Amino acid sequence: MTSSSADTARQRLNALREAMREHAIDAWWLPSSDPHNSEYLPEHWAGRAWLSGFDGSVGTLVITQDAAGVWVDSRYWVQAEEQLAGSGIALMKLQPGQPDAPMRWLAEQLGENATLGFDADVVSLANARRLEAHLAPAGIRLRGDMDLLDAIWPERPALPEAPLYAHPAAYLDETRSERLARVRQAMAEHGADWHPISTLDDIAWLTQLRGADVEFNPVFLSHLLVGRDAATLFVAPGKLDDALTAALAEDGIAVADYADWHRRLNTLPGEARVLIDPAKLTLGTRQALPEGAHLAEAYQPSTLAKGCKSDADLAHVREAMEEDGAALCEFFAWLEAALERGETVTELTVDEKLTAARARRPGFVSRSFGTIAAYNANGALPHYHATQEAHATIAGNGLLLIDSGGQYHGGTTDITRVVPVGEITDAHREDYTRVLKGTIALSRAQFPLGIPSPHLDAIARAPLWASGRDYGHGTGHGVGYFLNVHEGPQVIAWYAPAAPHTAMQPGMITSIEPGVYRPGQWGIRIENLAANRPAEASEFGDFLRFETLTLCPIDSRPIDADLLDPAEADWLDAYHAEVRSRLAPKLEGDALAWLEKRTQPLARG
């Protein structure tokens, strides 16, 4: 953090503490969230980043009159340490499996009769309950009736106003009414008459609409109230045109003002039976429901339905992967040639050229997240992002990690590849090959239908553990269908709860991305997306396997072939043969020549 940035952070911290004193609040809780429990936030709700200067996508800021800290996991430790330096806000290293660490810290810091404040509209009901469980025994009160940022953020960005549009019908195989019927069936099973939904990707999936209110994610600020016979979409005036409003009405969806969400919930019958998911609704939304409402708590049904892509969806995803793979081939052909010619190539250039290659492909809409182009030591930061002020030139010797993705009408992509630059060492090769072995191990796995997804994590880690290596992030996350690049319900991470809703089901798309990170030296991650597909049943039950969806060569130059067993080498050769056969018809010239060169069978000793 520069001295001016640190000064700004300290000034804002002092302003918040003054507002806390005015309202008799002893501590303030500021998560990375919004009224929709989003991971990626509109600037209006990016208060943690504005106040602290740490702009990673995940982190919890906690402030008392005497101390302040940001809790982040290992993906962000180096970034947070740099961005928080001199701000008066400490980096608090969050360990795997310990999400409640900042709550325990507060219980130790605050005395009896202290008050913790937060904005109930950006704290999930589940997290509010955990706060209560940790703090109430210590005599600490919770207060969620205000947003102190409003008082100290004079130029707070307004809510986004991008118009909505329909997901093209050619990419859909069911109607809005059919999707709503699936939700209503789940409501009936729980005896519920009403179901409030605030998660933006669920609403986009149910309404078959898309927007641009959140960078990289084609979603829009909204809430949805589903009743047994009708539904209401709450969205800001002017975002829907007359044609879309009429189309929604035909499917039984009325439109109301986004600002009327709480007022409408408060008008539900006093004895209303309401289905809610405490992890996906905020405390503020719960407080807006009638006090006497009968709550049925269960995992949000649309999230599982959305996560299980249909065969028609997967067909479109395969087409999107071919377009994405062709763009990547064009980019990598350019990159290798540019480096050989001695052209100046920076991490920023990588993003520019790669995005331009994708933009030339049919169906491309936008990037699916900010491109991570990280050379040598920068690659050791899993969520590194180059900026105009701080970026590396790709020169000399080492490894370049590129994690990128695209939004297409027919699917969402997310891929990581690592390429050698100049001369690399045996240590580079061993790390790279161990990571590749992890990717291959999980890609080849067959597993029982319904197994909790966290249980699969060890399959990818085993080849790294065997040599004393590991990585601090999860191995896999769900991926949307022209929606968020991170979605549930499945997650492949040993420290994630193995809850029933994490069960692996056919049609789910999940990333497979083990890695190795050596701070100050290099980072390696090899990532493909894979779909759950039925495998042969046996007398022991039904099984699933992974179909690798991502189509792009895995660079063989950093591989130590002696570390691969014959089955692993066969998998890689078969993968490259499929990549070549499916991408070659879409390429010509230098890109085609590059594809042919990079998909040759692995040389074996």
In the chain the domains, ranked by start, together with CATH numbers, are 3-152 (3.40.350.10), 165-306 (3.40.350.10), 308-598 (3.90.230.10)
Nearest to 481 by CA among 410, 532, 530: 410
Taking 50 as the pLDDT cut, the residues of the chain under it are none
**Scanning the structure block, which residue is given the tokens 């990079």?**
598
Write down the pTM of the prediction. 0.95
Instruction: Compute and round to an integer the Cα radius of gyration of the chain.
Output: 25
CA–CA distance from 397 to each of 14, 63, 522 (Å)?
46, 43, 11
The 10 Å CB-count burial string (b at 16+, else e) for 142-156 is bebeebbbeebbeee
Say whether the peptide bond before residue 489 is cis (omega within 30 degrees of 0): yes
Start-end of H helices in 341-395: 347-359
Which two structure tokens, joined as six digits, stand for 219?
Answer: 């979603």
Query: pLDDT tens for residues 482-533?
Result: 999 999 999 999 999 999 999 999 999 999 999 999 999 999 999 999 999 9
Which two structure tokens, joined as six digits, stand for 234?
Answer: 């709450």
What is the Cα–Cα distance from 482 to 314, expressed in whole angstroms? 12
Which pLDDT score, from 0 to 100, does residue 605 have? 65
Residue 292's identity, in one-letter code, is: G
Give the containing element (helix H, strand E) for 102.
helix 101-109
Q: How far apart are the first and last CA of the chain?
A: 49
Which pLDDT score, from 0 to 100, does residue 335 have? 98
What is the Cα–Cα distance from 75 to 70, expressed in whole angstroms? 13
What is the Cα–Cα distance from 435 to 440, expressed in whole angstroms? 9
- Residues near 425 by Cβ (< 8 Å), separated by ≥ 6? none
What is the Cα–Cα distance from 596 to 483, expressed in whole angstroms? 32
Which pLDDT score, from 0 to 100, does residue 57 have? 83
Start-end of H helices in 410-482: 426-443, 457-465
- Residues near 531 by Cβ (< 8 Å), separated by ≥ 6? 309, 314, 317, 507, 508, 509, 510, 546, 547, 549
Instruction: Please report, to the nearest 10 degrees, the dihedral formed by the alpha carbons of residues 304, 305, 308, 314 taken in order.
Output: -150
* Phi and psi torsions of 132, nearest 5°: -60, -45
Report helix angle 457-465 to 426-443, nearest 10: 150
Strands (E), 343-414: 364-367, 372-375, 398-404, 406-408, 411-412
